[in-house]
Amino acid sequence: MKLDIFTSLINLLIVYMVFAIAFVITARRHPNLDGPVHWFVACLMFFSGFLGLSLRGVIPDLLSIVVANSLILTGRVFIWAGVRSFFGLRWRRPVFSLFVLCVLPTTVLLSLFTAVWPSISARQVIMSVFPMLVNLFIIRDVYRQRSSTLVMESNLFIGFVVAEVVIHLVRITILMTVSVSTDSYLLGQVQPDKLFFIMFFMLSTIQLLILVTLVSAKLQNELNQLATQDVLTQLPNRRLLLQRLKHGIDMKQRTGKKLALLMLDLDRFKDVNDSLGHAAGDELLQQVAGRIGARLRDMDTVARLGGDEFIVLLEEISHPQDAARVAEDIIADLGRPFQLLANNEQAPEVQIGASIGISLYPQHADNPELLMEQADIAMYEAKQAGRSCYAYFSEELTLAVRKRIDIESRLRHAIEQQELRVFYQPQIDIASNRIIGAEALVRWQSPSEGLIAPIHFIPIAEETGLITAIGEWVLRETCQQGQHWLAAGFPPLTLAVNVSPQQFRRGDINALVAKVLAETGFPAGQLELELTESGLMEHQDKAVGVLNNLRAQGIRLAIDDFGTGYSSLAYLKRFPVDVLKIDKSFIDDIPDLQDDMEITATIIAMGHTLGFKVLAEGVETQEQLAFLQAKGCDIYQGYFASKPVPAKEFAALLAAQYEKKNTDEFNPVF
Ligand code: C2E
Ligand code: MG
Ligand code: MG
């Protein structure tokens, strides 16, 4: 098909005019959006440039070539300028100096090669080198500035600009190597440049089209933001929050995790608005938004619902009390005075508070609307309960969580104030009926509540990580006490210390034990560590390594509460253990329950086969002891011999045993 260059030029002019109109309309509608104005100017320049070229013959050659081509080149610079301002980049040099630096020398060269030393090839090379260089700058800028939301459009644009650069390169190479006849003018009828011309035309049309897409994508983003953002605080609004909440619930359904919704209402906000005016109220809300946001993790969302109502979405919480902790922090943060009108010398200081209602997924509801409603109800409860406090959707949960948090803070205090005690429960060798050791059991001597059993604080200590400090303290205290007894002349005893799974998993138990033994001088061979089955089973391979290292230090190892976890003979064989402690629940119903008696007998036999000592826990009666003795159990521990007692009492028991030595071997010593 024969290409009619004139028709193509007319098409080209129409296309550029259409783009120019599109850009000018955008620029008028969105005066804040930079880029379209430059592109409008560029289109006008392309338009007049190509018009000038198509009028060749009507106007003198020199004028049409030099002026028209310079206009097209300047259009290029404007495209670049548009790209830069679209992405918010400022020129260090104004467009004018760029024009002087780039376009003017090029125009001079073009004039020289047209009028003084007529050379079509040289002229064409200039016409390709110049846009190629500008294009390289454009690629650099777009590549650096593409934002996450405009990445597809930016990449497309880069792709087409790169394509154009490649075509220019090919063209320059051909022009430099092939001799071009003098009449094969750019828009002449015969030269191979026709193909290039069509390509450039298509590519630059596509580039302009992508620029239009870029603009509309950016505007769409801004619109979306307006629709999902609170104008005053720039926080997400109710709509976006609901979207995120819905998404959060979907994710949690898959992962089985929990999330919490905190509905927050400011106390006394109305007073600020009424007394200091709305501007002060607005500023206060902005500062509140900042303080709440500062307390949250990146994954969480704080949104403003309107008025003085905020809502916080906590993604991924482990326990209900995690939400309460965040609520407490936010209440404390918002309770500090706010300094309004920062620029004003007499900046008023205001004090407000916040009430927070908490609902939990999946505990309270499994859909966004219901969760919001429940958080709202809980918030009113919090307000009624006296403001500046939080409440959960269910009252029992509020009370339970408050109690736990209270215990946690008191426990921290207890550790600092040295309110913890170690009690010792004797372990009796069944054959000789003599105390051969003791289990160290922690107690909390609270000044207000008296002696608190570990069941009430060890689980909380495990959840909060306080167990590490407690465990270390018990270990040190026990070793110190043991060393003290040795120094006082008591016979060597095995002292057993409980190690929580948390401690075993997280801390470096080996290093800790070595350190404590070195500090106290207590012999490693007299220390026994009690580990639970579940703690060992969690990371079996790691556990075997840790146990081996402990063993290498000479420490004895016991499996506590044996029979309550998921025991497997395979792991029992792998773990380097010295003692199996049969759980109290199996001993309790001896001699009434045949099953328990059989299980106990089996554990004893199996333990012996595997080379372990077997200890029975919770022995309370003579019958139980007789049964254990008949089955060959090695050691027992239980109220039948003694409850756990303070160190002094334990020492007295030991002393009594000394005195009774050789007299009544077969009765319990106490
Ligand atoms: P455990 O290690 O299985 O300790 C045995 C529990 O059974 C002790 O309860 C002990 O007082 C109780 N007991 C012993 N003989 C009898 C008996 O004849 N009858 C009855 N009814 N109970 C008996 P305690 O002292 O309340 O300790 C409970 C649990 O708390 C312990 O179970 C242990 O898992 C944990 N614990 C105690 N001290 C520590 C510690 O220092 N660190 C860690 N990580 N856990 C500890
Ligand atoms: Mg124990
Ligand atoms: Mg036990």
Ligand 2 geometric centre to CA of 498 (Å): 5
Q: Which atom of ligand 1 is nearest to the CA of 471?
A: 42
Please report the pLDDT score of residue 577 as a whole number.
92
Please report the pLDDT score of residue 346 as a whole number.
66
Contacts of 533 (CB under 8 A, 6+ apart): 559, 560, 561, 562, 564, 565, 566, 567
Looking at all shown ligands, the one closest to residue 455's CA atom is 1
Residue ID of nearest Cα to ligand 1 atom 33: 498
Ligand 1 geometric centre to CA of 559 (Å): 13
Residue ID of nearest Cα to ligand 1 atom 10: 644
Q: Which atom of ligand 1 is nearest to the CA of 497?
A: 41
Which strand (E) or helix (H) includes residue 321? helix 320-335
Q: Which atom of ligand 1 is nearest to the CA of 422?
A: 41
Residue ID of nearest Cα to ligand 1 atom 45: 498
Around ligand 1, the residues with Cβ closer than 6 Å are 425, 441-442, 453-455, 458, 471, 474, 498, 500, 530, 560-561, 584, 617-620, 637-639, 644
As a whole number of angstroms, the distance between CA 506 and CA 542 comes to 11
Q: Following DSSP, what letter does each residue of 468-523 receive, concatenated? A: HHHHHHHHHHHHHHHHHHHHTTPPP-EEEEE--HHHHHHS-HHHHHHHHHHHH---
Ligand 1 geometric centre to CA of 98 (Å): 83
As a whole number of angstroms, the distance between CA 434 and CA 663 comes to 12
Q: Following DSSP, what letter does each residue of 175-204 receive, concatenated? A: HHHS---TT--TT-SSSTHHHHHHHHHHHH
As a whole number of angstroms, the distance between CA 78 and CA 82 comes to 6
Ligand 1 geometric centre to CA of 637 (Å): 11
Ligand 3 geometric centre to CA of 444 (Å): 19
Q: Which atom of ligand 1 is nearest to the CA of 467?
A: 44
As a whole number of angstroms, the distance between CA 429 and CA 436 comes to 6
Q: Which CATH number fits domain 5-228: 1.10.3470, 3.40.50, 1.10.287, 1.20.1070?
A: 1.20.1070
CB-based burial, 292-303: b 16+ in 10 Å, e otherwise: bbebbeeebbbb
Residue ID of nearest Cα to ligand 1 atom 3: 561
Q: What are all long-range contacts of 479-487, with beta carbons under 8 Å and residues at least 24 apart? A: 479/516, 479/517, 479/519, 479/520, 479/522, 479/527, 480/520, 480/522, 481/422, 481/424, 481/647, 482/520, 482/522, 482/526, 482/527, 483/520, 483/521, 483/522, 485/651, 485/654, 486/522, 486/523
Ligand 1 geometric centre to CA of 442 (Å): 8
Looking at all shown ligands, the one closest to residue 458's CA atom is 1
Please report the pLDDT score of residue 657 as a whole number.
85
- Of 326, 315, 383, which Cα lies nearest the Cα of 353? 383
Return the best residue to mutate from 452, 468, 498, 502 for the ligand 1 pocket (most ligand atoms within 8 A of CB). 498
Please report the pLDDT score of residue 236 as a whole number.
93
Superfamily of domain 238-408: Reverse transcriptase/Diguanylate cyclase domain (3.30.70.270)
Q: Which atom of ligand 1 is nearest to the CA of 441?
A: 38
Ligand 3 geometric centre to CA of 581 (Å): 7
Looking at all shown ligands, the one closest to residue 475's CA atom is 1
Give the CATH number of domain 467-643: 3.20.20.450
3-state secondary structure of 669: coil
Residue ID of nearest Cα to ligand 1 atom 22: 618
Q: Which atom of ligand 1 is nearest to the CA of 581?
A: 3
Provide the pairing of β-strand 556-562 with 579-582.
Answer: parallel
Please report the pLDDT score of residue 312 as a whole number.
96
Looking at all shown ligands, the one closest to residue 454's CA atom is 1
pLDDT along the chain (670 residues), means of 10: 61 87 87 86 89 75 81 89 85 69 82 80 84 90 81 87 90 75 45 71 86 85 82 90 92 87 92 84 93 92 92 92 93 92 69 93 90 90 84 82 83 91 97 95 93 92 87 96 94 94 82 96 96 79 88 94 76 87 93 91 93 96 95 96 96 84 42
Please report the pLDDT score of residue 660 as a whole number.
61
- Of 330, 379, 375, 381, which Cα lies nearest the Cα of 353? 330
Please report the pLDDT score of residue 123 as a whole number.
81
Ligand 1 geometric centre to CA of 189 (Å): 101
Ligand 1 geometric centre to CA of 441 (Å): 6
Residue ID of nearest Cα to ligand 1 atom 13: 618
Residue ID of nearest Cα to ligand 1 atom 8: 441
Ligand 1 geometric centre to CA of 299 (Å): 40
Categorise residue 57: left if φ over 0, alpha if ψ from -120 to 50, beta otherwise: left
Please report the pLDDT score of residue 649 as a whole number.
96
Looking at all shown ligands, the one closest to residue 582's CA atom is 3
- Of 626, 642, 550, 539, which Cα lies nearest the Cα of 590? 626
Ligand 2 geometric centre to CA of 403 (Å): 26
As a whole number of angstroms, the distance between CA 250 and CA 47 comes to 54
As a whole number of angstroms, the distance between CA 66 and CA 107 comes to 6
- Of 537, 542, 582, 524, which Cα lies nearest the Cα of 558? 582
**Are 641 and 432 in contact, with CB atoms under 8 Å apart?**
no
pTM tops 0.85, yes or no: no
CB-based burial, 93-108: b 16+ in 10 Å, e otherwise: eebeebbeebbeebbe
Looking at all shown ligands, the one closest to residue 640's CA atom is 1
Please report the pLDDT score of residue 586 as a whole number.
94
Return the best residue to mutate from 427, 441, 639 for the ligand 1 pocket (most ligand atoms within 8 A of CB). 441
**DSSP letter assigned to residue 39:** H
The residue written with tokens 């359904």 in the block is 253
Contacts of 342 (CB under 8 A, 6+ apart): none
As a whole number of angstroms, the distance between CA 214 and CA 87 comes to 10
Looking at all shown ligands, the one closest to residue 637's CA atom is 1
Q: Which atom of ligand 1 is nearest to the CA of 583?
A: 3
Ligand 2 geometric centre to CA of 645 (Å): 15
Residue ID of nearest Cα to ligand 1 atom 27: 454
Q: Where would I find the beta strands (DSSP E) of 253-389?
A: 258-267, 301-306, 309-317, 338-339, 349-350, 353-361
Ligand 2 geometric centre to CA of 582 (Å): 10
Looking at all shown ligands, the one closest to residue 581's CA atom is 3
Q: What residues are paired with 439 via a beta bridge?
A: 425, 496
Please report the pLDDT score of residue 632 as a whole number.
95
| Domain spans of the chain, in order of start | 5-228, 238-408, 467-643
Please report the pLDDT score of residue 261 as a whole number.
96
Ligand 1 geometric centre to CA of 520 (Å): 24
Q: Which atom of ligand 1 is nearest to the CA of 639?
A: 18
